[in-house]
Amino acid sequence: MPHSDRFILSRLPSPLGPMLGVSDAGGALVALDWEDHAPRLNHLLRLQHGSETSLSEGAAPEAVRRALADYFDGALTALDALPVATRGTPFQRQVWAALRQIPAGTTLSYGALALRIGRQAAVRAVGAANGANPVSIVVPCHRVIGSDASLTGYGGGIERKRWLLEHEGVLARATAA
């Protein structure tokens, strides 16, 4: 595992608070998380890229900025083609690839995701891999819910998960009485 990766760290606006994006020299997303979850982002970067990872502040690639803005403006498939450059175990990468196959506006349970990758007995491991996803929203871990349709954990917080699923039309928007 290389110990001298150099990445660009950028700040990106969102309706749910500022985000931090980490991209490689080719413009692929290495990590994307909420600014108030920076310690989690840094932890996942160290796990996947080693302790010598170098971050330089800079602008996010135009494709990333445009796709995120379009997604938050309602073009729900705008993130689908964004390149990501994640590392992790082969199992984690298999789970993350399967997450990218869950269309906007739909959800899947952890058990259904495990079945989809041919590892039906690995529900807990699927949950752990989902939780270690370094590229929030683009690798849509928010679309995975409990078998009883409950909004289970989300690295960005349950309220953000609820907002994202409402934005995608999965949940009815809460209305003030």
3-state SS string for 42-84 = HHHHHHHHCCCCEEEECCCCHHHHHHHHHHHCCCCCCCCCCCE
Q: In the predicted model, is pLDDT for residue 152 greater than 90?
A: no
pLDDT tens digits for 46-83?
888 887 778 899 999 999 999 999 999 999 999 999 99
Q: What is the pTM of this model?
A: 0.89
Residue 80 located in a structural domain? no
Same domain, 100 and 160: yes
Give the sheet arrangement for strand 6-12, strand by strand: 29-34, 19-23, 6-12, 54-57
pLDDT at 8: 94
Contact 12, 21 (CB under 8 A): yes
Task: Name the residues annotated as catalytic.
Answer: 141
Instruction: Dump pLDDT digits (tens) for 95-114.
Output: 999 999 999 999 999 999 99
**Count of structural domains within the chain:** 2
Q: Same domain, yes or no, for 67 and 98?
A: no
| 50 and 109 share one domain | no
| Residue 155 belongs to domain with CATH number | 1.10.10.10
**Helix, strand or coil for residue 2?**
coil
